[in-house]
Structure 1
């Protein structure tokens, strides 16, 4: 049983407990994978504050040795923050209801729908918008049973029985078209396959490591391209969807204000004969305007709750950072004494 070099004295006893547990469970304490830490927290029990301190000790030991702190994994963040877990559970339930209504076929709404569905699944899993924006294609791994692993520390997105709501299936739907997005002829190929519902299974190479996982699209399905570098005469990688855009897209879907991305109309030749004026439609006054107003009020309340949840999420993140800073100051004060 060893103590990592540089670990503060008041952290060493807690680390020894974790090291002893790993030895008995035949696990590796350093570096420890998130599942190991999660099992340790569940078996050790204690209050949420105790769990947070244990995670802080384990994270500190990993940082001292240049390893990725396992406490950043989403399952561990939920385990030590019950309010966050409840808030994400509410968001996940709302997103699960939305997924079947978002199209995956047609042009360009099938393309945008696949991207938005993938964004919603990652948001429901608790991945922050800046981290979603920074993902590249090589951050995604599909394992044999259909499970999808995202980023490092890995976020596990498991397969489900419902094909319209399966989180892993939603991500695979996006990966099926993502391979063609940076392709020179990708726009034409995607339009054809999504209109004809004949999308083939990707067999080509995975896009380059710097290819962002999510990009923006205009109303015709085009992806904005960065300017050519005048020194290298090469075009940089595609522009990634910003964190602000990710947040805006998720909020728009949750509030019912997402763009429909209607099918692009093809130009037609002008008619040779004078078209007849459209018939005058009878004006119909809806007698249920009062009920419609009440429904709109409830809709606005739901949107406000969504914004409050986002503010609480930001507050939790700031609180975690402040807590970590306080622990660092305590370490410095202890060492000085």
Structure 2
């Protein structure tokens, strides 16, 4: 296929296109694996290899195709030391994932999410790109047990085969987190999720909810989880700083256990025995004496009404006398004033 490139780049493209034809691979669009194999088949200086990648990517850009040279596997192929570090990192991460718990709430929820974070970190992607991943950016590889990661800036990579050496399945790690997302899509209740994960049987308790998961969803792939297992009501991505801290703590062996916070214990009320009520022995004649006392009081108070009426009459008489006195004084003062 003739590709319109500057004359100085035609030789590089022809070399790559002939190699793809010889190995029955597509030159346009080429995969990152094909580019890595091409670079290994044609060793050269680092500057020459980078120039080849630039030319091949430019040809893909011209036809609006994803450039294969942006893959993390191509970067690793150019830097042997980096490739070795990534292999060692993937091997260590595989051992860590294998030790993560698969039961207990909310420990198992953190374990499922952190396992996916560690799997993605083994690719060498920057933490900022991992934090920005959406659900649709990660897919399971069709041919091998690996994940294909596509970022927003056309960088794509696959998970390391070193994970398989530690008996870790990237597809299963991804599937277990997708089951959680699918369950939240069907039942947005943390309490119900806790009950479902509490019935763990070999880690397959949420398998049926994977069908509720939409692989083309644009919501964030990784979200924060508080210590009670709650996730944000509105989909919120983890920050790059949070992802870096999670990966670092697991690599350093300092990852928290995320045990269920216990309710604050209440001190039982002391068992206070009430003071015994003293036993009073009543006189057998108390009833007769009480009745007699009430009768005597009734006799004494029988004339209360007449006494109160007499008081009221005397009060009225005093009031009238006071008024007459005030009126007479007022009249006298007025007569003196006229004279």
Say how many residue pairs are matched.
260
Deviation at 1:271, TM superposition (A): 3.2
Contact 2:186 2:212 in 1 (8 A): no
Q: Deviations over 1:252-293 (max 9, x none)?
A: 22223322211232566753557xxxxxxxxxxxxxxxxxxx
Secondary structure of the equivalent of 1:271? coil
Looking at structure 2, the residues matched to 30 and 250 of structure 1 have their Cα atoms a distance apart, in angstroms, of 37
Deviation at 1:26, TM superposition (A): 2.3
Q: Does 1:206 align with 2:213?
A: yes
Q: Deviations over 1:103-132 (max 9, x none)?
A: 232111110111111111111122222222
Q: Which position in structure 1 is the counterpart of 2:98? A: 100
Contact 2:106 2:227 in 1 (8 A): yes
Q: Deviations over 1:187-229 (max 9, x none)?
A: 1232012222141313433246122111001111111234xxx
Looking at structure 2, the residues matched to 89 and 143 of structure 1 have their Cα atoms a distance apart, in angstroms, of 19
Going from structure 1 to structure 2, the CA distance change for 1:90 and 1:142 (only over 3 Å counts) comes to closer
Q: Which position in structure 2 is the counterpart of 1:131? A: 129
Looking at structure 2, the residues matched to 157 and 175 of structure 1 have their Cα atoms a distance apart, in angstroms, of 20
Contact 2:220 2:236 in 1 (8 A): yes
Q: Which position in structure 2 is the counterpart of 1:192? A: 195
Contact 1:95 1:120 in 2 (8 A): yes
Q: Which position in structure 2 is the counterpart of 1:53? A: 51
With the length of structure 1 as denominator, give the TM-score of the two structures.
Answer: 0.68
Q: Which position in structure 1 is the counterpart of 2:229? A: 221
Looking at structure 2, the residues matched to 133 and 185 of structure 1 have their Cα atoms a distance apart, in angstroms, of 23
Q: Which position in structure 2 is the counterpart of 1:160? A: 164
Looking at structure 2, the residues matched to 273 and 16 of structure 1 have their Cα atoms a distance apart, in angstroms, of 91
Looking at structure 2, the residues matched to 162 and 88 of structure 1 have their Cα atoms a distance apart, in angstroms, of 14
Contact 1:129 1:246 in 2 (8 A): yes
Q: Which position in structure 1 is the counterpart of 2:302? A: none
Contact 2:107 2:257 in 1 (8 A): yes
Looking at structure 1, the residues matched to 92 and 159 of structure 2 have their Cα atoms a distance apart, in angstroms, of 20
Deviation at 1:91, TM superposition (A): 1.8
Deviation at 1:162, TM superposition (A): 5.5
Q: Deviations over 1:66-113 (max 9, x none)?
A: 211111222211111112112212322332332233223211111011
Q: Aligned ranges for residues 18-97 of structure 1 at < 5 Å?
A: 18-97=16-95
Looking at structure 1, the residues matched to 15 and 76 of structure 2 have their Cα atoms a distance apart, in angstroms, of 22
Looking at structure 2, the residues matched to 143 and 16 of structure 1 have their Cα atoms a distance apart, in angstroms, of 30
Bigger shift: residues 214-223 or 87-96 = 87-96
Q: Which position in structure 2 is the counterpart of 1:232? A: none
Q: Which position in structure 1 is the counterpart of 2:262? A: 265
Structure 2 gaps, min length 5: 151-155, 272-339
Deviation at 1:161, TM superposition (A): 7.0
Going from structure 1 to structure 2, the CA distance change for 1:265 and 1:195 (only over 3 Å counts) comes to farther
Q: Which position in structure 1 is the counterpart of 2:8? A: 10
Deviation at 1:24, TM superposition (A): 2.2
Contact 1:107 1:264 in 2 (8 A): no
Looking at structure 1, the residues matched to 223 and 217 of structure 2 have their Cα atoms a distance apart, in angstroms, of 15
With the length of structure 2 as denominator, give the TM-score of the two structures.
Answer: 0.68
Structure 1 gaps, min length 5: 227-237, 275-337
Please tell me whether Structure 1 or Structure 2 has the larger radius of gyration of its CA atoms.
2
Going from structure 1 to structure 2, the CA distance change for 1:167 and 1:204 (only over 3 Å counts) comes to closer
RMSD over aligned Cα, in angstroms?
2.6
